[in-house]
A and B are shown apart, each in its own frame.
Chain A
Amino acid sequence: MEPLNVYASRLVTKKEHFTPGHKACQGCAEALAVRLVSKALGKNVIVANATGCMEVISTTYPHTSWEVPWMHVAFENTGAVISGIEGGVKALVRKGKLPERNTVFVGMGGDGATCDIGFQALSGAFERGHDIVYVCFDNEAYMNTGIQRSSSTPFGAKTTTTPDGVKTHGEVHWKKNMPKIAVAHNIPYVATACPSYPLDLIRKVEKAAKMKGPAYVHILSVCPTGWRIPTKDAIWIGRLAVETGVFPLYEVTDGKYDLTFPDLELKPVKEYLSPQGRFKHFTPGLYEVFQKQVTENYEKLKSRIYL
């Protein structure tokens, strides 16, 4: 996989639908992920975007980075907005008021918009079976408002609302397993991805777009600003998240699990955690607790592969 990724830029389309000039921080892997998702989706798409970093950095009036139809309504309703877009087009096509052209309807949101405040609207969209792709860009906290914890923040991570104090040391809860919750809705396709693996990400988004019914892609999006790492390290840290098993890459097609890198020998989680400022306060004890949970989760995931 390593050599392939080096040549990734030559293997994908040069056409950009999420264009440069936006206001993302230096080294933002989320903006990179949005760019790759947009390449994978092409032009025949309508996007509904939740409030958050990506909306704020890309659409300061009168500028826009979007060369595809794009709509933002609010923070917590993207699952519903994209349901309405899909439903409206479906009705108009059926009634002969619009031509049938197989447009892909895509909802996008951060981890807060997906796992917390927009959770109900997204669950509703999954349950009703709309023909949509929902992409969660998970940077593991409310970065846009200044790095506050979300339910997707990993155990132990320091944020501005989970500080390292005398009584508690960073986030006290384990990260919510959103892909597993998506799978529980019995939707046809769920995948995890990371822009450190661009070809894999593009392939999964293309597959999600082809699926009939709801598809969910959960993308780990390294945030140098919030994770307290040098901007040059975003890609490297994303790879370590995968290589240590902290963020395993897999896909679930019609309920069938597949690991993207089935033969991966996991590196110790410390290699992933220690370069990040948000885990700087970690003691050997905390590393041990973290390692134990990651190993256990990974074993559980592998056991589902062979079901």
Chain B
Amino acid sequence: MRIDPAWIVNNLDRIGALTVEHVYLTVLAVVIGFAISFALTVLVRARPGLYEPILGVTGTMYAIPSLALFALLTPITGVGTVLTAEIALVSYTLLILTRNMVEGLRGVPADVLEAAAGMGYTSLQRLVRVELPLALPVVIAGLRIATVSTVALVTVTALTGLGGLGYLIINLGVQRGSFGATPALTGLVLCVVLAVAADLLLLGLQRALTPWARRRAST
């Protein structure tokens, strides 16, 4: 296996564009997944009985092999469309995000909830001002897992004609044998860098949003 620095230099524009596409596909999937999961979580908060069925459905989606899902979707939603990619990518975030949000809310101490009710919070005020802020560490933990795994999963969408850095790894890499070593490795390294950067960004966000979680009695 030989690394060819010249290839990298000659293809910087293309690599940059693919990286942007990769970030775009990831962010879109996580944002949509988060919105759907949030809606499901509010539903579960009002009707706890729905939690098990929702876990069942999202769990099943999570278990479908990604290649099979793309194969199933392509005839319906088209080759190389963002829609095809996102349906799959979003599906894989739902289990992790919904579960962490619901568990985050359930982890809010009962005495805090009772005090909030006793002091005259409406149900919505309680959700927004008390339950969600307290659930935040668990919610962001879920976001981190979902984001990192989406970064990895985006590469597979290269098989449908999109794929961001996956294009480097699969189309220019794996499929071209030993000639593809440089693009494949470039794509791989950038994927890892993206995943680590996203993870650190979210961790920083969590720290910034939950100053209370790090302060403990010093006396």
* A-B complex is real: no
CB within 8 Å of A: which residues of B?
Answer: none
